Amino acid sequence: MTWEELEAAAMNCQKCPLAKTRTNCVLGCGNRNTDLMFIGEAPGESEDLQGIPFVGRAGKLLDKYFEAVGIERDDIYIANILKCRPPQNRDPAPAEEEACIDYLRAQVKLIQPNIIVCLGRISGQRLMKPDLRITKEHGIWVKKAGVMMTTVYHPSYLLRPNPQAREQMLTDMKEIVRMREELRGGGSNG
């Protein structure tokens, strides 16, 4: 599948009821030739309106973490499992995930990243392990199909007062940068 075929299929998708309530299909954005991909769960209201992932309050916070560790948003690719917004930003239903997962698989196949970062519990459970516990397993690396994967807190979770989780997120983001450098052959010893 080419990018053009993927975009056309997603934009015209009617596989689940979310297609009827969306403003925009939110496929993803960023560098399609990157080695680093971030995957969240589903678009929120701002994302649905703009057609771009992570542009609302949670996205602005994620951008601050990117900036803090030197990740350029234009240098990575960001997507979600779901391409349409669930009503009231509720968690995606399993049937909705199933309807959309092939679009995400196609994106991963086209991009071929070395690292996938799951943003939040839902993404981590779907892509890494069904019983993932985000508070215990964030920042842990797993290799699947030749790709290094980790889960970090979803930025919407960090909008709540939780200084410890915010600190852990910064540590996890620094580790993502370290792993990226290591996989590129420029790993450091400290």
Q: Is residue 82 part of a domain?
A: yes
Query: 97 phi and psi, to 5 degrees?
Result: -60, -45
Total number of domains in the chain: 1
Q: Is residue 185 part of a domain?
A: no
Q: CA-to-CA distance for 50 and 109, rounded, in angstroms?
A: 25
Q: Is residue 189 part of a domain?
A: no
Q: CA-to-CA distance for 6 and 110, rounded, in angstroms?
A: 10
**How much is the pLDDT for 59?**
97
Q: CA-to-CA distance for 72 and 111, rounded, in angstroms?
A: 17
Residues in the chain: 190
Q: Model pTM?
A: 0.95
Sequence letter at residue 96: E
Q: CA-to-CA distance for 78 and 24, rounded, in angstroms?
A: 16
Q: CA-to-CA distance for 35 and 26, rounded, in angstroms?
A: 21
CATH number at residue 128: 3.40.470.10
Q: CA-to-CA distance for 155 and 26, rounded, in angstroms?
A: 18
| Rounded (5°) CA angle 24-25-27 | 135
Q: Which of 158, 151, 65 is nearest to 116 (CA)?
A: 151
Domain span holding position 34? 3-180
Contact 24, 94 (CB under 8 A): no
The SS3 assignment for 149 reads strand
Q: Is residue 60 part of a domain?
A: yes
**How much is the pLDDT for 4?**
97
**How much is the pLDDT for 70?**
98
**pLDDT in single tens digits along all 190 residues of the chain:** 999 999 999 999 999 999 999 999 999 999 999 999 999 999 999 999 999 999 999 999 999 999 999 999 999 999 999 999 999 989 999 999 999 999 999 999 999 999 999 999 999 999 999 999 999 999 999 999 999 999 999 999 999 999 999 999 999 999 999 999 999 987 554 4
Eight-state DSSP code of residue 75: G
Q: CA-to-CA distance for 149 and 156, rounded, in angstroms?
A: 20
**How much is the pLDDT for 190?**
45
Q: CA-to-CA distance for 86 and 144, rounded, in angstroms?
A: 28
Q: Is residue 186 part of a domain?
A: no
